[in-house]
Amino acid sequence: MKFSRSLSALALSLTTLGAQATELVVNGSFEANAQAAGTWQIYNALTGWTSGLNGIELRNNVAGTAQDGVNFVELDTTKNSAMYQTITGTGLVTLSFWYSARPNTGLTNGLGYSLGTFSGSVLNWAINPSSANHWHHYSSVVDLGTSGSSVLSFYARGPSDSYGGSIDNISVTSAVPEPESYGMLLAGMGLIGAVARRRQGKASAA
């Protein structure tokens, strides 16, 4: 009975760990906003997102194609622009997004990002002489601490000339264990099961 309870507890732990990945970003792929195919428009806000100075430029497969769905954002409207939203969460999370230099551009594509106190940049000094977006994936584990809320921001860097980097498929999820963690739990379950079978065998022999 004692070993059955132990096995049940380990199984519950494994199920709980597997269920920890929760999406914290609202409208990360910008599909919640309707934009006609082949068009773009500058908005003061999108679903889940607030603009900084100069609005948010939403594109539906124009001057490049989306990485996910049909919409993506370019963060250089008439001038360098920005967007942000507040994320509710604590502890370790995984920040993920896709980015591309705008097609047919030179050194004008820099993008900055921040989540709480964590920050960085991509596309510095990047060029894209082709006629298509070339999407690259960024991912990092970020510690949100214990405050309960953090601001997620993206903003244009470099020349403020209405030609800037593109971003799509933004995600912040609660961190999940590495595969090694699952392996350790499964090994523990196997060990407890083996000990339980051995004890049962000794009991039968007696």
pLDDT in tens, 182-206: 455 455 556 555 555 666 655 555 5
Tell me what pLDDT residue 196 has.
Answer: 54
What percentage of residues in the chain have a pLDDT greater than 70?
Answer: 75
64 and 86 part of one domain: yes
16 and 30 part of one domain: no
68 and 169 part of one domain: yes
Mean predicted lDDT score pLDDT of the chain: 86
In angstroms, the CA 48 to CA 50 distance is 7
54 and 9 part of one domain: no
13 and 58 part of one domain: no
Largest separation between any pair of C-alpha atoms in the chain: 86
Of 205 and 44, more confident: 44
- At 124, which CATH number? 2.60.120.260
pLDDT category of residue 56 using cuts at 50, 70 and 90: very high
Of 166 and 199, more confident: 166
Return the number of other C-beta atoms located less than 10 Å from residue 201's C-beta. Answer: 10
188 and 109 part of one domain: no
Structural domain count, the chain? 2
pLDDT category of residue 175 using cuts at 50, 70 and 90: confident
Q: Residues near 48 by Cβ (< 8 Å), separated by ≥ 6? A: 25, 26, 27, 28, 32, 85
How much is the average pLDDT of 85-103? 97
52 and 154 part of one domain: yes
170 and 181 part of one domain: no
39 and 54 part of one domain: yes
Q: Give the tokens for residue 31.
A: 């599909």
What is the Rg, in whole angstroms, of the alpha carbon atoms belonging to the chain? 23
148 and 184 part of one domain: no
Structural domain containing residue 138: 22-175
pLDDT in tens, 99-152: 999 999 999 999 999 999 999 999 999 999 999 999 999 999 999 999 999 999
Q: Contact 160/76 with Cβ under 8 angstroms? A: yes
pLDDT category of residue 92 using cuts at 50, 70 and 90: very high
190 and 148 part of one domain: no
117 and 195 part of one domain: no
Return the number of other C-beta atoms located less than 10 Å from residue 27's C-beta. Answer: 15
Of 160 and 5, more confident: 160
Tell me what pLDDT residue 12 has.
Answer: 45
Which regions of the chain does DSSP assign to beta strands (E)? 40-43, 45-46, 49-51, 56-60, 71-74, 82-88, 92-100, 111-115, 118-122, 136-143, 149-156, 166-174
Q: Contact 111/156 with Cβ under 8 angstroms? A: yes
